[in-house]
C-alpha cells in the first residue's frame, strides 16, 4: 500500500505540477487539500484539475469563519501591524491552513505534508513551524528546496513538465503578478514591483478596489458597533465577523481604502517589495483603534502598543502555535473587556475620517477636558505636579550649572 502525502493545493501551476512530480519521484498517493480562506472564484474548477493531474482525492475545506473569529479578530484586537504598514493578511492565514492540513493528514493516515512555497519566502517557515508544532512526526516535503530532484525553474518548465505527463492545463507562460488572496487581503509581488524605483501599475494590479483618484467624489458614512473588542454590527445590521469583513471590503475597495506599497524585511533576511490591498481590514482596524482611544487608560495603551508589535512579529514569523503567542493574546484579551461602543466614520478617496465615537465605558470626561474648571480638577494642583514631575530635570540642570561654575 502506497504512502499518502497531503498536498497544500491552490490549483495554480506550481501545486498542479507538484502532483505528478510527487508520484514520479516518491511513488506517493497524492491527496490534495485546498483550504478556503476566502479566495473566491480562484477555487472554481479545482476538483477536475486535481484529478486530471493525478490526485486520488481533493478536499476543499471552508475555514473562513474560523479564520476570521480565531485568527483575524485576535490580531485586530492586538493592533498587530508588521513594520507599521502590513496588516498580516497572508501571515494570519498560514497557521490555520497548517492546522487543517494536519487534521486531514491524521484523517487519511498520511505520512507527509507537501507545500509549494519557495525557498526564499516567509510561507515555508509559517507552514512548517505550524506543522512541526502540531504534528512533529509528519514528514515535510518542500519541492522548491529540493533542487537535486525538483529541476523546474520557470513557468515554462512547469507547463512543459505537465504536458509530458499528459496534463493539458489552462495555463500559459505569460508573466503575471505573484498573488496571494484570502478574505482579509490580496498581495501582489513581481513584475515592475521588483524594482522599488518603479511606480506600481495600479490599473493592471488592483483587484479589490480602485485608487483614491478613481474613487467616488462623494463621501460615504459607515457605522459599526463592537462588544468586548469584537465587531458586531455594520450600519445597524448584526453580522458575523466574516460578513462584516466582506461588506467592508466592498466599501473600502469602492473608496480606495487600504492600498499599501511596502518594502518589508522578510524572516529569511532579505527585503522584498509588495503591494497589499486590505480595504475591509484597514477600516476594521481603524474603527477598533478609534474605540480604544476612548476606553483604554494611558498606561494600558502604552503597553498594549508594545504587545501589538510583538504579536505582529510572532504572526509574521509563523510562531502562532507557541506559548508566547498565547501569553500575548491573553494580555490583549484582558484589555478588551470594555472595548464596547459605536464608531462612526466616513470614507472618502482613500481616507477614513472620524465622525463620532461613543462608549458606555468611555474615559473621556468633557468637564475635565474643557478649559473651564470642573470639580474633579483644580488648576492649582498642576503646580505641585509639575514641580515633582520635573524635579529630575531641575536637579540635573543645577548640577551642570554648578560644575560649569567650578571649572
Please list, residue by residue across 334-368, b when 16 or more beta carbons sit within 10 angstroms of its beta carbon and e when fewer do: ebbebbbbbbbbebbbbebeeeebebeeeeeeeee
Residue 373: the pLDDT is 59
Say yes or no: domain 186-358 is CATH 3.40.630.30.
Answer: no
Which residue would you say has higher pLDDT here, 112 or 47? 112
Residue 173: the pLDDT is 62
Query: Mind telling me the catalytic residues?
Result: 14, 94, 123, 178
Residue 42: the pLDDT is 77
Residue 48: the pLDDT is 87
Average pLDDT over residues 315-331: 98
Cα–Cα distance between 9 and 12 in angstroms, integer?
8
pLDDT in tens, 278-311: 999 999 999 999 999 999 999 999 999 999 999 9
**Residue length of the chain:** 407
**Distance (Å) of CA 290 to CA 295, 345, 366:** 9, 10, 17
Cα–Cα distance between 155 and 87 in angstroms, integer?
29
Q: At what angle do helices 298-316 and 323-335 cross, to 10 degrees?
A: 150
For 328-367, strand residue ranges (E) read 341-348, 351-358
Return the sign of the alpha-carbon dihedral for residues 347, 353, 355, 356. Answer: positive
Cα–Cα distance between 307 and 77 in angstroms, integer?
11
| Binding-site sequence positions for ATP | 8-16, 116
Nearby residues of 227 by Cβ (< 8 Å), 6 or more positions away? 340
Superfamily of domain 4-69+87-174: HUPs (3.40.50.620)
* pLDDT of 263 over the 80 cut: yes
Helix (H, G, I), strand (E, B) or coil at 73: helix
Nearest to 284 by CA among 62, 88, 39: 88
Cα–Cα distance between 151 and 158 in angstroms, integer?
10
Task: Give the pLDDT band of residue 91 (cuts 50, 70, 90).
Answer: very high
The Cβ-side half-sphere exposure at 148, using a 13 Å CA radius, reads 0
Residue 371: the pLDDT is 65
* pLDDT of 237 over the 70 cut: yes
Residues of the chain with pLDDT > 70, as a percent, come to 98
* pLDDT of 196 over the 80 cut: yes
Least confidently predicted of 69-73, 173-177, 209-213, 380-384? 173-177
Cα–Cα distance between 399 and 393 in angstroms, integer?
10
Nearest to 179 by CA among 193, 160, 169, 159: 193
Least confidently predicted of 32-36, 128-132, 164-168, 280-284? 164-168
Q: Which residue has the cell 504512502?
A: 3
Q: Is-contact 63 96, C-beta < 8 A? A: yes
Task: Give the pLDDT band of residue 167 (cuts 50, 70, 90).
Answer: confident
Residues of the chain with pLDDT > 90, as a percent, come to 86
Task: Give the pLDDT band of residue 11 (cuts 50, 70, 90).
Answer: confident
In DSSP terms, 178 is beta-bridged to 189
Helix (H, G, I), strand (E, B) or coil at 205: helix
Torsion of CA 86, 90, 93, 95, to 10 degrees: -90
Residue 241: the pLDDT is 98
Residues of the chain with CATH 3.90.1260.10: 186-358
Q: What is the pTM of this model?
A: 0.94
Helix (H, G, I), strand (E, B) or coil at 337: coil
Cα–Cα distance between 31 and 23 in angstroms, integer?
11
pLDDT in tens, 98-152: 999 999 999 999 999 999 999 999 999 999 999 999 999 999 999 999 999 999 9
| Binding-site sequence positions | 8-16, 86, 91, 116, 118, 122-123, 126, 178, 187, 264, 276
Residue 155: the pLDDT is 82
Q: How far is CA 387 from its chain centroid?
A: 46
Task: Give the pLDDT band of residue 374 (cuts 50, 70, 90).
Answer: low
| Binding-site sequence positions for L-aspartate | 118, 122-123
Helix (H, G, I), strand (E, B) or coil at 185: coil
Residues of the chain with CATH 3.40.50.620: 4-69+87-174
| Binding-site sequence positions for L-citrulline | 86, 91, 122, 126, 178, 187, 264, 276
- Residue 5's φ and ψ, nearest 5 degrees, are -125, 135
Residue 368: the pLDDT is 78
The C-alpha cell at 91 is 501571515
Average pLDDT over residues 314-325: 98
Residue 378: the pLDDT is 83
Task: Give the pLDDT band of residue 174 (cuts 50, 70, 90).
Answer: low
Amino acid at each position: 500500500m502506497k504512502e499518502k502525502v497531503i498536498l497544500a493545493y491552490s490549483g495554480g501551476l506550481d501545486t498542479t505540477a507538484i502532483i505528478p512530480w510527487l508520484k514520479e519521484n516518491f511513488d506517493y498517493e497524492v491527496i490534495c487539500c485546498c483550504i478556503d480562506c476566502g479566495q473566491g472564484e480562484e477555487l472554481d474548477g479545482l476538483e477536475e484539475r486535481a484529478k486530471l493531474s493525478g490526485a486520488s482525492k481533493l478536499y476543499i475545506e471552508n475555514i473562513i469563519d474560523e479564520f476570521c473569529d480565531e485568527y483575524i479578530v485576535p490580531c485586530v484586537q492586538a493592533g498587530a501591524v508588521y513594520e507599521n504598514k502590513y496588516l498580516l493578511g497572508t501571515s494570519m492565514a498560514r497557521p490555520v491552513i497548517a492546522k487543517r492540513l494536519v487534521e486531514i493528514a491524521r484523517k487519511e493516515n498520511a505520512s507527509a505534508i507537501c507545500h509549494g512555497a519557495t525557498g526564499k519566502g516567509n510561507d515555508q517557515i509559517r507552514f512548517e513551524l505550524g506543522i512541526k508544532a502540531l504534528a512533529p512526526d509528519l514528514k515535510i516535503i518542500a519541492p522548491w528546496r529540493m533542487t537535486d530532484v525538483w529541476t523546474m525553474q520557470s513557468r515554462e518548465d512547469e507547463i512543459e513538465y505537465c504536458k509530458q505527463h499528459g496534463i493539458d492545463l489552462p495555463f500559459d507562460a505569460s508573466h503575471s503578478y505573484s498573488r496571494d488572496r484570502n478574505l482579509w487581503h490580496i498581495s501582489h509581488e513581481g513584475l515592475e514591483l521588483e524594482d522599488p524605483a518603479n511606480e506600481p501599475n495600479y490599473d493592471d494590479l488592483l483587484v479589490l478596489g480602485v485608487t483614491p483618484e478613481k474613487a467616488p467624489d462623494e463621501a460615504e458614512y459607515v457605522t459599526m458597533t463592537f462588544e468586548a473588542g469584537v465587531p458586531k454590527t455594520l450600519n445597524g445590521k448584526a453580522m458575523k465577523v466574516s460578513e462584516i469583513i466582506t461588506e467592508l471590503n466592498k466599501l473600502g475597495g469602492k473608496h480606495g481604502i487600504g492600498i499599501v506599497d511596502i518594502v518589508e524585511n522578510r524572516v529569511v533576511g532579505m527585503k522584498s517589495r509588495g503591494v497589499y490591498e486590505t480595504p475591509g481590514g484597514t477600516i476594521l482596524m481603524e474603527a477598533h483603534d478609534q474605540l480604544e482611544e476612548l476606553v483604554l487608560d494611558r498606561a494600558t495603551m502604552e503597553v498594549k502598543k508594545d504587545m501589538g508589535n510583538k504579536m505582529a512579529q510572532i504572526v509574521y514569523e509563523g510562531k502562532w502555535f507557541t506559548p508566547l503567542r498565547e501569553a500575548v493574546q491573553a494580555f490583549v484579551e484582558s484589555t478588551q473587556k470594555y472595548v464596547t461602543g459605536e464608531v462612526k466614520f466616513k470614507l472618502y478617496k482613500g481616507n477614513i475620517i472620524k465622525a463620532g465615537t461613543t462608549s458606555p465605558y468611555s474615559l473621556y470626561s468633557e468637564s475635565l477636558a474643557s478649559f473651564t474648571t470642573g470639580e474633579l480638577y483644580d488648576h492649582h494642583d498642576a503646580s505641585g505636579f509639575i514641580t515633582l514631575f520635573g524635579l529630575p530635570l531641575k536637579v540635573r540642570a543645577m548640577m551642570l550649572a554648578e560644575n560649569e561654575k567650578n571649572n
